[in-house]
A and B are shown apart, each in its own frame.
Chain A
């Protein structure tokens, strides 16, 4: 079963890669048939990915939230799921060329970290994980991270389109990219959805951490998640209270995603704190 999980995982990665190429080609060449193939490849990859997560769980007994490999794989899975929602809502395949490769990179990073990571969960750690709060904490944070990624992708597109419009020259890129207000709205809605989920996820984690460790805040990932929370909090505050410019908000959304990536990958490798189970 474990072998089947590995095969499904690689198969999903290959399909995501194919989808990335197809989405990109569709964006450049505007061939509707390729966008259909791209969605098909993403869908097939998603099914293979789902099978891989399920089979791996069944074979090893490791929950999908333990270890870098599992949690990054689950993050990628959530990202693809959220992408399908976005594609359905905004009817744009462009974001497939950004979000699907991001999912691919998350999986590839998980695969790289798998080789360098070795940890055994002790009984204390297992008892810490044994709570509905931990499951909810991880699920909420992952959905929030995927939504932050959507917000950042839309913000990146916003900056690109804004720069094209400022240059006063029409280009194929400008014509292919969606309008500023559309990208702005997608970014804001994605971050607006993600922020309360992230806050709830953090609070659940904090409550659980306090039960076991009074120095719960002395953990690189907890600290980093505070930074992420502050960045996106500023984003919403600047937008709703200050009416900040679209450009500033878009840059902030990108900075936020960088912080999320640092938290998800780099802070994971720091050998201190209580997040020893790779969450």
Chain B
């Protein structure tokens, strides 16, 4: 059994290629069933988003898993195989686990820390599960990957900081007001950027939108889009008392909002904070306003600075996410080890030997006075019985373990014999890990991957 990944993403393929290789929801069932009809593929999950198409598969040991998947992709989308390979990346074994965990943690996304990818991977897995193409290994792998996604989002700040100007404004507003539900925003000027920011604020719960513009008709037009209220330009400072957030983007060449006017408006706000966003260049709002108590003013440079520092922070948080991924990979490896046939057989034998020794000791106590020769004979007899009883099952277990779904036999044996722990530790286990993670064959695979233009690590 091998873990295999074949895919392409925004990092390796332009949109013209990506759009040709999508698997929309209504075609997933068909695609999965075609994939599983290939004798080389035991389990499969197809992840298809606007930025990536990836096929995760458990392929049969000794087969050309990546080749089979490339054939499937080329046939399914009616593309030239050699042309297609130029855009694909291939991973096998441990690298697949790492890649999936990085994808779910959104470390491989176009915008690091974006939240949608976790849901998209969940959806892909659910399709596979519903179509019986996710078996024991993928059930464990994908569920653990969701755990990775959750941990990364809850234990790091990777997705918490806004990376666009308008979202940065919303994020800052939430740091002032906590909840934007029921708040009032005053838009000064009818620029595109202020409209976009207001749109984000409204989608975050802002209730009332007031629009002031030198041309009243334009104010009405914009207010209409938000079911808001247009106000006369000369009423601006009077209505500012009602506003919690002010967005300004007029074409004025001087300060439209001055410190004394805002100070006067603040007096009737009874200590309620006022958040001002000045997106205009040249600026509309006197920067000295920021010195007033309870007034927080951000201009376009401040917001850009916030975005920049947020991006840097996401990169820092990405390093913490990598640590979480490393921890989860160890956990997955442990699970794989527990599915290992060699330690399972050893554990069965150890358990049988434990039972034999205990029973023999009890019997010898009852018999008493036996000669050395008789003791040896009884010992050999019981050992022989145990060995003969175990030989058949363990030999057959070893035989089927390497086959498709062989790990289910191992798991059943562990269940039947009540083996809850691996008695031999990790070092001696080789078979399934080697098989799934492809460690023994990595060196051999490397040359193939290079030939295929591998881009592992994205």
Contacts and interface: CB of A to CB of B under 8 A. Distances in A.
Interface string B403-428: 00000000000000000000000000
A168 to B, nearest CB: 4
Contacts of B271: 184, 239, 243-246, 249
B273 A30 contact: no
Nearest to A164: B175
If over half of A's interface residues share one DSSP class (helix, strand or loop), that class is named, otherwise mixed; here it is helix
Nearest to A33: B155
B302 interface: yes
A169 B177 CA distance: 18
Given A170-B309, A243-B270, A244-B271, A175 B157 contact: yes
Given A175-B160, A179-B178, A181-B176, A169 B293 contact: no
A178 interface: yes
A166 B175 contact: no
Contacts of B176: 165, 179-181
A170 B161 contact: yes
B119 interface: no
Given A30-B157, A166-B296, A180 B175 contact: yes
Contacts of B179: 179, 181
Contacts of A245: 271, 293-294
Given A168-B302, A245-B271, A246-B271, A181 B293 contact: no
Interface string B150-167: 000011110011000000
B296 A161 contact: no
A174 B271 CA distance: 21
A246 B273 contact: yes
Interface in B281-318: 290, 293-294, 296, 298, 302, 305-306, 309-310, 313
B298 A161 contact: no
A246 B293 contact: yes
B257 interface: no
B174 interface: yes
Nearest to B244: A181
A172 interface: yes
A182 B313 contact: no
B175 A174 contact: yes
A181 B294 contact: no
A4 interface: no
A247 interface: yes
A169 B309 contact: yes
Contacts of A174: 175
A184 B177 CA distance: 10
Interface residue tally of chain A, by bracket? Answer: 20 to 34
A172 B175 contact: no
A243 B272 CA distance: 8
B175 A165 contact: yes
Nearest to B309: A170
Nearest to A177: B175
A165 B171 CA distance: 11
Residue among B161, B176, B273, B302 with most chain A CB within 10 A: B273
Nearest to A180: B176
Interface string A229-249: 000000000010001111111
Contacts of A179: 174-179
Most-contacted residue by chain B among A175, A178, A181, A244 (CB, 10 A): A181
A58 interface: no
B207 interface: no
B305 A168 contact: yes
Interface string B353-396: 00000000000000000000000000000000000000000000
Contacts of B309: 169-171
Given A179-B176, A181-B177, A170 B313 contact: yes
Interface string A172-199: 1011011111101000000000000000
B269 interface: yes
B305 A169 contact: yes
Nearest to B302: A168
A73 B270 CA distance: 39
A152 B305 CA distance: 32
A239 B270 CA distance: 7
B174 A246 contact: no
Contacts of A170: 161, 306, 309-310, 313
A113 B178 CA distance: 42
Interface in A7-27: none
A243 B293 CA distance: 12
**Which of A172, A175, A245 has the largest number of chain B CB atoms within 10 A?**
A245
B175 A30 contact: no
A32 interface: yes
Contacts of A31: 155
A246 B294 contact: yes
A100 to B, nearest CB: 22
A30 B156 contact: yes
A244 B273 CA distance: 11
Interface string A152-168: 00000000010001101
Contact of B296 (A165, A172, A248): A165
B160 to A, nearest CB: 6
Query: 5 smallest A-B Cβ distances: which pairs?
Result: A243-B270, A179-B178, A245-B293, A168-B302, A182-B178
Interface of A: 30-32, 161, 165-166, 168-172, 174-175, 177-182, 184, 239, 243-249
21 contacts: A30-B155, A32-B154, A165-B296, A169-B305, A169-B309, A170-B306, A170-B309, A170-B313, A171-B309, A178-B178, A180-B177, A180-B178, A181-B177, A181-B179, A182-B178, A243-B267, A243-B268, A243-B269, A243-B270, A246-B273, A247-B293
